[in-house]
């Protein structure tokens, strides 16, 4: 066993998967006997944004707790006392020496944005303003509040704001601090594309101001690509061990990671590469209408948000991608389809059976994953269900865990599985990509697509991951308007026209990486950006 393939490597005709030589040495940190071990540490650099890319459960947070001085690495000696001098000895003569010396001398201050912003309301009671004021160490809070558009929620209670608002509040709270080392554990969950770009720009600005070090863990490759100056890859066996590579250039790092082979390390980290399918935009092939809905209108209270839905049709066996900024009414429309919310004007056929995965998943029951899923479908455990759902969503390893012990990514996969396991006319998934790592996204995408194809099922998928939307969807429904004020849901259109409408509104064009085909955001004003805008081809250029 090579630690990557569970049993005999099925690819030995191609290449023998080698174990990293690091494993012959002592780790930087080990949690206990037979417990997770971390090899190597990332190197924060003053004035730079350092990215970390790797699967969930591979030790990224562990590495950061060490660099933040929150845990003293034990160098594998989990039974004795650990001490920083030993760690420094180990890293003398490396790029990290300087950093560790300052850390030990108490010269380094750290601010950290936690990965799961949903947990913040459990730890902090009070208004957004109160949380933020405590962090305003640089006198830049007003600027951050405006850039991140959180002024409208300043006087709301922390436990009443949405996930996207929480994410932006957490970013503002972290970036408002005056420290040497900022650590941001995933910046994109629940943010729309322009909010993601704003967050990236604020992080870059801060790194350049006063030589601060920024370390960012991120699974959105397009954003990581824009944001980071250098990149560490983490690989290994999630839950067992993780290795942090030396820094790489961002483009090479991402491409090597996707290819499954690290050039400098001469290391295969995955039996197969993650390929980005480049396909012509799907031509919609229409089946029978599943729902024909009239013009709809919904508003919340006097002068609060209002949504206009233009009449449209959803066809049987199609996957509809749904895109638009946050706060534009996507979830409101989803809730009208499920019948949880009634339109003020217009009527919806509520005879439909709908399986719904909400954006924010609350499954805090003291119940095991297997018990929960078998309560949803009697197909549970059949070889068919295993192949279609459990395997691609990597559920085997978490079946015996309790729902309330799951990490964000695990919870997301269980919720997607629960939704697809229902017998329904329409599957409605609200932001299935949140908290999934790159491989999990690719696998979840193909699981959803394959499931709908094999079952002639109809699905609507709301997501901000443009690549996931492109791979999944037959047609695209675009929302526009003024977030938090009014929104309009346009009828679904063909992919090319829909992407062009959506991205023109954002003023962003994408090109494909020559080597891997992955979509990359063009630099605003670059030659490609100008050409594509001139041709009106925002996504499917070439
Ligand atoms: P990542 O940030 O890459 O998702 P983490 O560093 O959070 O990964 O975790 C890596 C592994 O270490 C996981 O298997 C996790 O369960 C385990 N782990 C994390 N913290 C502890 C701990 N305090 N004790 C034992 N195991 C832990
Ligand atoms: P999206 O899914 O596109 O992010 P939503 O449909 O969740 O947008 O919300 C649209 C707008 O309606 C937001 O400004 C949100 O704050 C507001 N909103 C949502 N639910 C309610 C409610 N129950 N009462 C008042 N305003 C609401
Ligand atoms: Mg983590």
**pLDDT for the residue numbered 299:** 95
How many angstroms separate the alpha carbon of residue 489 from the centre of ligand 2? 14
How many angstroms separate the alpha carbon of residue 435 from the centre of ligand 3? 10
Treating both helix axes as pointing N-terminal to C-terminal, what angle do 84-91 and 96-104 enclose, rounded to 10 degrees?
A: 160
Q: Which of 3-7, 174-178, 462-466, 473-477 has the lowest mean pLDDT?
A: 3-7
**pLDDT for the residue numbered 361:** 76
DSSP 4-41: SSSSS-TTTTT-PPPPPGGGGS--SEE-STT--EEE--
* % of the chain residues with pLDDT over 70: 94
How many angstroms separate the alpha carbon of residue 61 from the centre of ligand 3? 4
Between 321 and 17, where is the model more confident? 321
pLDDT of 401 strictly over 50: yes
Asked if 232 and 244 touch (Cβ cutoff 8 Å), the reply is yes
β-pairing verdict for 248-249 and 230-237: antiparallel
Closest residue CA from atom 7 of ligand 1: 61
Closest residue CA from atom 14 of ligand 1: 239
Between CA 525 and CA 530 the distance in angstroms is: 6
Radius of gyration of the chain (CA): 24
**pLDDT for the residue numbered 181:** 93
- Residue 339, CA distances (Å) to 314, 334, 352, 431, 458 in order: 16, 9, 9, 19, 17
329 Cβ closer than 6 Å to some ligand 2 atom: yes
- Residue 106, CA distances (Å) to 24, 41, 100, 252, 268 in order: 32, 19, 10, 35, 39
Q: What is the pLDDT of residues 168-197, one digit of tens each?
A: 999 999 999 999 999 999 999 999 999 999
For ligand 1, what atom is nearest to the CA of residue 185?
2
H helices of 327-394, where?
Answer: 330-338, 369-374, 383-385
Closest residue CA from atom 18 of ligand 1: 36
Average pLDDT over residues 354-372: 86
pLDDT of 284 strictly over 90: no
**Distance between first and last Cα of the chain:** 43
**pLDDT for the residue numbered 283:** 67
**pLDDT for the residue numbered 17:** 52
327 Cβ closer than 6 Å to some ligand 2 atom: yes
Q: What is the pLDDT of residues 285-318, one digit of tens each?
A: 678 999 999 999 999 988 889 999 999 999 999 9
Between 186 and 10, where is the model more confident? 186
509 Cβ closer than 6 Å to some ligand 1 atom: no
Between CA 465 and CA 35 the distance in angstroms is: 34
**pLDDT for the residue numbered 84:** 93
Structure-token pair, residue 4? 């990557």
Going by pLDDT thresholds of 50, 70 and 90, the confidence category of residue 418 is very high
pLDDT of 14 strictly over 70: no
Going by pLDDT thresholds of 50, 70 and 90, the confidence category of residue 267 is very high
Closest residue CA from atom 21 of ligand 1: 31
Residue 242: nearest ligand to its CA? 1
**pLDDT for the residue numbered 287:** 83
* % of the chain residues with pLDDT over 90: 70
| Ligand 2 binding pocket mutation candidate from 300, 306, 489 (most atoms within 8 A of CB) | 300
Task: Name residue 253's beta-bridge partners.
Answer: none
DSSP 272-314: S-------PPPPP---SEEEEE--EEEE-TTTS-EEEE--EEE
pLDDT of 321 strictly over 50: yes
Q: What is the pLDDT of residues 120-156, one digit of tens each?
A: 888 888 999 999 999 999 999 999 999 999 998 999 9
Between 129 and 281, where is the model more confident? 129
**pLDDT for the residue numbered 278:** 66
Closest residue CA from atom 5 of ligand 2: 329
- Residue 58, CA distances (Å) to 64, 217, 531 in order: 12, 12, 41
**Residue 88 CB-density burial (10 A; 0-12 exposed, 13-18 middle, 19+ buried):** middle
How many angstroms separate the alpha carbon of residue 188 from the centre of ligand 1? 21
Residue 152: nearest ligand to its CA? 2
| Ligand 2 binding pocket mutation candidate from 163, 326, 329 (most atoms within 8 A of CB) | 329
Q: What is the pLDDT of residues 36-51, one digit of tens each?
A: 999 999 999 999 999 9
How many angstroms separate the alpha carbon of residue 31 from the centre of ligand 1? 8
How many angstroms separate the alpha carbon of residue 207 from the centre of ligand 1? 28
239 Cβ closer than 6 Å to some ligand 1 atom: yes
Q: What is the pLDDT of residues 487-513, one digit of tens each?
A: 999 999 999 999 999 999 999 999 988
464 Cβ closer than 6 Å to some ligand 2 atom: no
**pLDDT for the residue numbered 15:** 41
Going by pLDDT thresholds of 50, 70 and 90, the confidence category of residue 517 is confident
Q: DSSP class of residue 404?
A: G
């Amino acid at each position: 066993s090579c630690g990557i393939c569970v049993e005999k490597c099925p690819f030995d005709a191609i290449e023998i998967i080698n174990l990293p030589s690091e494993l012959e040495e002592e780790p930087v940190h080990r949690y206990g006997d037979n417990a997770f071990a971390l090899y190597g540490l990332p190197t924060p650099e003053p004035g730079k944004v350092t990215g970390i890319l790797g699967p969930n459960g591979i030790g990224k947070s562990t590495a950061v707790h060490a660099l933040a001085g929150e845990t003293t690495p034990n160098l594998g000696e989990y039974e004795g006392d650990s001490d920083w001098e030993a760690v420094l000895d180990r890293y003398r003569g490396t790029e990290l020496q300087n950093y560790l010396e300052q850390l030990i001398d108490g010269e380094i201050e750290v601010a950290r944005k936690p990965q799961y912003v949903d947990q913040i309301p459990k730890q902090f009671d009070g208004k957004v303003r109160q949380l933020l004021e405590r962090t305003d160490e640089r006198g830049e809070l007003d600027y951050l509040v405006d850039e991140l558009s959180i002024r409208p929620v300043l006087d709301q209670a922390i436990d009443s704001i949405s996930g996207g608002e929480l994410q932006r509040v957490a970013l503002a709270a972290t970036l408002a601090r005056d420290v040497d080392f900022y650590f941001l554990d995933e910046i994109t969950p629940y943010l729309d594309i322009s909010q993601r770009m704003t967050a990236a720009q604020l992080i870059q600005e801060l790194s350049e101001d006063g030589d601060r070090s920024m370390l960012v863990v991120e699974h959105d490759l397009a954003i990581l690509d824009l944001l980071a100056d250098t990149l560490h890859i983490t690989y290994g066996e999630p839950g067992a061990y993780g290795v942090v590579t030396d820094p790489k250039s961002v483009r090479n790092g991402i491409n090597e990671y996707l290819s499954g082979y690290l050039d400098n390390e001469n290391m295969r980290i995955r039996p197969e590469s993650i390929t980005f399918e480049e396909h012509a935009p799907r031509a919609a092939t229409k089946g029978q209408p599943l729902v024909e809905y009239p013009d709809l209108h919904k508003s919340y209270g006097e002068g609060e948000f209002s949504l206009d839905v233009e009449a449209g049709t959803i066809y049987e066996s199609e996957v509809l991608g749904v895109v638009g900024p946050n706060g534009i009414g996507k979830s409101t429309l989803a809730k009208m389809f499920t019948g949880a919310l009634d339109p003020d004007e217009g009527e919806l056929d509520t005879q439909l059976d709908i399986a719904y995965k909400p954006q924010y998943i609350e499954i805090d029951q003291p119940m095991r994953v297997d018990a929960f899923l078998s309560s949803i479908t009697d197909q549970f455990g059949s070889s068919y269900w295993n192949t279609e759902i459990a395997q691609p969503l990597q559920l085997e390893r978490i079946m015996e865990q309790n729902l309330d012990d799951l990490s964000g990514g695990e919870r997301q996969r269980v919720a997607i599985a629960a939704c697809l396991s229902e017998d329904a006319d329409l599957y409605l998934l609200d932001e299935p990509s949140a908290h999934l790592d790159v491989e999990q996204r690719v696998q979840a995408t193909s699981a959803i697509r394959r499931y709908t194809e094999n079952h002639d099922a109809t699905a609507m998928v709301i997501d901000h991951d443009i690549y996931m939307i492109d791979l999944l969807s037959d047609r695209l429904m675009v929302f526009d308007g003024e977030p938090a004020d009014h929104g309009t849901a346009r009828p679904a259109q063909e992919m090319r026209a829909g992407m062009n409408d959506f991205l023109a509104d954002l003023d962003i064009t994408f090109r494909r990486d020559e080597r891997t085909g992955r979509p990359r955001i063009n630099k605003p004003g670059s030659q490609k950006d100008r050409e594509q805008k001139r041709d009106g081809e925002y996504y499917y250029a070439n």
